[in-house]
Structure 1
């Protein structure tokens, strides 16, 4: 039986319809906001799979192009693997929801958000987070703490909840806030150098609106929700835990207090061997439990070290950034390279410049059709000293690449200022914490090395958090390394310039962050960012004045938009001929601006001349070097511009009387001619003798 509940968010109706579709799912809801509609299904297995030692939560964000009235491109004509945006949206749903499940719950859980209708004014990704929370709350799955999401824009110093498409285009801030009624769970932001205090106010503004949506979800849960299943949460056998703790605790503590990472890892490997030798016969079936106990002891020791002893594993101060080094121009044939090293984290970014036609075509649900600036991120196994098969980019790699892209996007010059497509590829060479923010730094170096006139250099840093069990005590730490990220409660990434923030992404393993923690993290990140920018400026502070000799050069010209069809020709015949003859790349904009790109300036200028000739207007009094195309008894037809012919009457061929046209010219000859008349039918009359006369007079004058 269908049941509907509604509320109002930012003046638009948020509606939940339950019981109408998906009868066999544990929970299925249609959530809508305006004309944007998402079908959300939530299901869980009856019991954990054999041997599973983690919480297997799967969030799927399925885009259907019929939602915007599109038929998929390509040969197959159906949706394939998830788009990059779909993967990013799935990650954004996962991060605030995962920490809210009970600890020890190991049943498989799958939430599928299928986007079935999209109105561009109402973003489906924000609706999907709310829909996933509602579906889980209404199910029998042990999820009892609703989480809400809103988008926050900033126009003329005024915050806006869930801005429309037109407002998003004007906004200097694109902020997503996810929160429970008590705390902020997750934030993603892109901005045009937003000051820290403004960003904090924006987060709090979104938090207040989230509280209202959570209250609505609680009401929906009360009226429509199923009774929650009583599940057995996984817990390690107490006897085994006591034995392992008594045997290994002091050894683990001694190992974890070693400041050098490699030596610490070697010491821990030795401890694990001793534990295995001690308990392999006594507890032969409990290898996973013993590993879990060792992990718990490590976590307890590191957290106590940070929270109560105010000591970091590598001996740094809580606000201290690891040693930094920067380098550029590493690779001789690339267009720009940057190498950024912070402690044991190292990233190399390579910049490639291409024609405007090299943009990435987007076939998705948004209004954006292409991308001129792209950032890709690779995380090979050798970056952490491991051996595993090399695969294509996973969700993490796509997410980190998108974050770095967002951080630099406001600083990239527009195509009028810099008519190139830009691709950055960040290769993680060594990883010990916050490679995504190291890639922001390396990418800035690469852009400067490539001569891209970016607005300002940008840098990024990751902040961490350690809290007590009851969340009453917390410590924020700057520039977290791997061990602090692994055993800590937060990964708060902030990127920006000396002026302000361009990107944020933070999530937490606990049930949200305090307002004070958010403020401290923003302030600490700014201090660290300015320190890093200073180090980067010592390496390279301005874009190179000239592009690499291996980068293609772009030449521009403008024509009458009505002449574009003359350059393209029927079926692209004309433009393809120009490209074949000159070897250049040509891009034409609707306003008549033409971009010609080539490594060879001679070829580029030749292509520009051909285009100029194609689009020039024939003018009376001008002299042209034309080619004879046809001879008649009364004169010769001469092509003076591509596709434009005129007649030289026999009387205008020479100063003396001409008996036969063939006595003066032949088909294929190139001759100088002057335009003497264009009649009312557009016919062009030419004169060879007038052209000769004018040329002789010009030579005499110059002498």
Structure 2
């Protein structure tokens, strides 16, 4: 077994081991920190893909609850389809590794990461990124590694590398930074309105602290000394590319001058089909790759020559913004946000506690998720003729990014006792749909009357690099994302950043470029926020008439079990009688949900009657629950039954059973409570002041 150990400023070092587990894989490592350990493996396919424009990479991250000593919750006691968290971790691994495969390498690569052990300190996600990169670095697979990753927190004004779970709860920043030697690859995270300069400092702090991770992997690879399969890389055919360029460059340039996305795409496709007819059949399989490269090169050249983008904008310009609040009646809140040809329709639905999403996590076990943001990207939004299937990884990722941007401002349950679900449907997409989702969702939440303290907006930034020249693009189009060198999504408020995601296709960017990109993103965000506040300056004062009514009442914590009753019997009966939904929460809080105000009031009366103390001297209207020759047993409060002895009746009948029946109401006064807590009742001297009627 080979092993390296790296100290990143924590008491627990990061340990990378290889040579003992998963030996049939092309490369495998175990990465540990504290009590958390992951197994990362990589396997290489035997035959190349026909496509040359990307490496067919699959990343599969799996968490098994046995890693933290639990049996899965729910009816089926076995892990099933990937959870949202597993998908999100798979994506950050993928986005770190994918840019590091050499161009022309088109063999299938599968990276699988399995959590072996998970303590309550260190999240396996960062170790999984390190593991995926290390497994590729020591394998024969062509890979421009090594690479590393760190989570950076900001606790009490100090950057903390790989913070523990407890430190993350106190942190203003939660940022994952992936890097190779001297350059950033990927950034993912969020914060509590963190200033731009702090974000830049955090990213370059990660680069500095993470240097030993790169050195350690180099050392490990040197020890193993596995030869890279460079012969699997198809070399770039300069002759073929020049031939393709001569045939189509002018026509590509003309097509790129069309501002409309669909018309431009159609024109480029026509150019490609025309050129393909002049190419030998055996070379046509590669022509798509070279044609895409030509389109990218032409777009870059035009931008540097004219200073104008595909749609005629200058680099810093934002597309036209349109906002339509509450376009449809029944959703509790809704908004349509359009930015150029990108259009998102967001709806808000308010619900009760029983509609919360149950989530099982390593650190918190089973918890309820109060705020959910679901992003949908139907095929029609890009003009594609195919069925609309279940959400893909990209949709899960974009939804999480937008959710993270808004979540810091969701009011606590004590102030707003609703479960909140936002659904964002992309109606048309021409770039930056995830950031349009942030804007549309913020507007829809205001429209629903959710008391957010401020709006949140987002914008996607791009970068085009040619030789040593760089142009930063604001509010990028879909083509600028695909053909450019950076996709940098930034969301936040006037005060700072709450969510960001950066992917790079070039070997690193300077601190100067990063600062400039964030400053331009800030200016764009402010301009967008101005538009949003102009359309909807504050949350609606009242909720939709179609939203449920919810109220939280406080009861003595020690008496809360009385509301539930044996096996939930009592609370179920109150629900049925009052047509409400009742949840007994922690700390003696009780959530009551209903469609009508009178139903809520009825439920509250029953709950407080249930918890009321029997008082000596009070008169109660109770129900007869049992009849004996010597007296009546009367329930004066829920679960509190007292004896009305015949000797304590003002005018006792000769035969009780002939004069009373079970269920009859009778007015009685409590004159004594015996040593066992049982009320003793009488009909003498009934007070005018009465207790609750039950």
Alpha-carbon distance in structure 2 between the residues aligned to 1:503 and 1:626: 59
The 8 Å contact of residues 338 and 449 in structure 1, kept in 2 or not, is answered as yes
Tell me which stretches of 4 or more aligned residues in structure 1 moved more than 4 Å: 50-53, 235-239, 656-666, 692-695
How many Å apart are 1:669 and its aligned residue? Answer: 2.1
Of residues 514, 526, 533 in structure 2, which corresponds to 1:518? 514
Alpha-carbon distance in structure 1 between the residues aligned to 2:314 and 2:238: 37
Quote the residue 1:698 is aligned against.
none
How many Å apart are 1:365 and its aligned residue? Answer: 3.0
How many Å apart are 1:66 and its aligned residue? Answer: 0.6
What CA deviation, in whole Å up to 9, does each residue of 1:329-349 have, x standing for no partner?
Answer: 122111110110000000011
> Which range moves more in the overlay, 685-694 or 26-35?
685-694
Quote the residue 2:481 is aligned against.
485
Of residues 534, 538, 542 in structure 1, which corresponds to 2:538? 542
1:295-314 pair list within 5 angstroms: 295-314=292-311
Unaligned runs of 5+ in 1: 696-703
What CA deviation, in whole Å up to 9, does each residue of 1:592-623 have, x standing for no partner?
Answer: 10000011222222222222222221112322
Secondary structure of 1:89's match? helix
Alpha-carbon distance in structure 1 between the residues aligned to 2:224 and 2:281: 47
Quote the residue 2:331 is aligned against.
334
Q: Normalized against structure 1, the TM-score is what?
A: 0.94
Of residues 475, 499, 505 in structure 1, which corresponds to 2:471? 475
How many Å apart are 1:405 and its aligned residue? Answer: 0.6
1:597 equivalenced with 2:596 (yes/no): no
> Which range moves more in the overlay, 404-413 or 636-645?
636-645
1:354-365 pair list within 5 angstroms: 354-365=351-362
What CA deviation, in whole Å up to 9, does each residue of 1:629-688 have, x standing for no partner?
Answer: 23334432211111111122334433x676555687543321222222112221212232
The 8 Å contact of residues 651 and 658 in structure 1, kept in 2 or not, is answered as no
The 8 Å contact of residues 384 and 431 in structure 1, kept in 2 or not, is answered as yes
Quote the residue 1:677 is aligned against.
672
Alpha-carbon distance in structure 1 between the residues aligned to 2:373 and 2:364: 20
1:577 equivalenced with 2:576 (yes/no): no
Secondary structure of 2:48's match? coil
The 8 Å contact of residues 100 and 511 in structure 1, kept in 2 or not, is answered as no
1:583-662 pair list within 5 angstroms: 583-654=579-650, 661=656
Quote the residue 1:27 is aligned against.
27
Of residues 394, 403, 406 in structure 2, which corresponds to 1:405? 403
What CA deviation, in whole Å up to 9, does each residue of 1:548-593 have, x standing for no partner?
Answer: 1110011222222222222212222222222222221111112110
> Which range moves more in the overlay, 494-503 or 656-665?
656-665
The 8 Å contact of residues 653 and 664 in structure 1, kept in 2 or not, is answered as no
1:65-464 pair list within 5 angstroms: 65-235=65-235, 237-277=237-277, 279=278, 283-367=280-364, 369-464=367-462
Q: 1:266 to 1:102 in 2, by over 3 A?
A: closer
Alpha-carbon distance in structure 2 between the residues aligned to 1:155 and 1:674: 62
What CA deviation, in whole Å up to 9, does each residue of 1:62-105 have, x standing for no partner?
Answer: 11111011112334321111110111001101112111111111
The 8 Å contact of residues 548 and 593 in structure 2, kept in 1 or not, is answered as yes
How many Å apart are 1:371 and its aligned residue? Answer: 1.2
The 8 Å contact of residues 182 and 207 in structure 2, kept in 1 or not, is answered as no
The 8 Å contact of residues 464 and 491 in structure 1, kept in 2 or not, is answered as yes
Secondary structure of 2:439's match? helix
How many Å apart are 1:451 and its aligned residue? Answer: 0.6
The 8 Å contact of residues 153 and 160 in structure 2, kept in 1 or not, is answered as yes
Alpha-carbon distance in structure 1 between the residues aligned to 2:330 and 2:559: 38
Alpha-carbon distance in structure 1 between the residues aligned to 2:96 and 2:51: 26
Alpha-carbon distance in structure 2 between the residues aligned to 1:224 and 1:694: 90
How many Å apart are 1:515 and its aligned residue? Answer: 1.5
Aligned length: 688
Alpha-carbon distance in structure 1 between the residues aligned to 2:247 and 2:175: 49
Alpha-carbon distance in structure 2 between the residues aligned to 1:106 and 1:274: 26
Q: 1:249 to 1:350 in 2, by over 3 A?
A: same
How many Å apart are 1:223 and its aligned residue? Answer: 2.1
Alpha-carbon distance in structure 2 between the residues aligned to 1:229 and 1:275: 33
> Which range moves more in the overlay, 265-274 or 93-102?
265-274
Q: 1:563 to 1:30 in 2, by over 3 A?
A: same
The 8 Å contact of residues 61 and 90 in structure 2, kept in 1 or not, is answered as yes
Alpha-carbon distance in structure 2 between the residues aligned to 1:244 and 1:150: 43
Secondary structure of 1:562's match? helix
The 8 Å contact of residues 53 and 288 in structure 1, kept in 2 or not, is answered as no
The 8 Å contact of residues 307 and 466 in structure 1, kept in 2 or not, is answered as no
The 8 Å contact of residues 95 and 508 in structure 1, kept in 2 or not, is answered as no
Alpha-carbon distance in structure 2 between the residues aligned to 1:497 and 1:243: 50
How many Å apart are 1:429 and its aligned residue? Answer: 0.2
What CA deviation, in whole Å up to 9, does each residue of 1:173-204 have, x standing for no partner?
Answer: 11111111211111112111111112222222
Q: 1:693 to 1:336 in 2, by over 3 A?
A: closer
Unaligned runs of 5+ in 2: none
Alpha-carbon distance in structure 1 between the residues aligned to 2:656 and 2:75: 58
Root-mean-square deviation (CA, aligned residues, Å) is: 1.9
How many Å apart are 1:283 and its aligned residue? Answer: 1.1
Alpha-carbon distance in structure 1 between the residues aligned to 2:669 and 2:243: 104
> Which range moves more in the overlay, 440-449 or 265-274?
265-274
1:503 equivalenced with 2:499 (yes/no): yes
The 8 Å contact of residues 261 and 430 in structure 2, kept in 1 or not, is answered as no
Alpha-carbon distance in structure 2 between the residues aligned to 1:207 and 1:616: 63
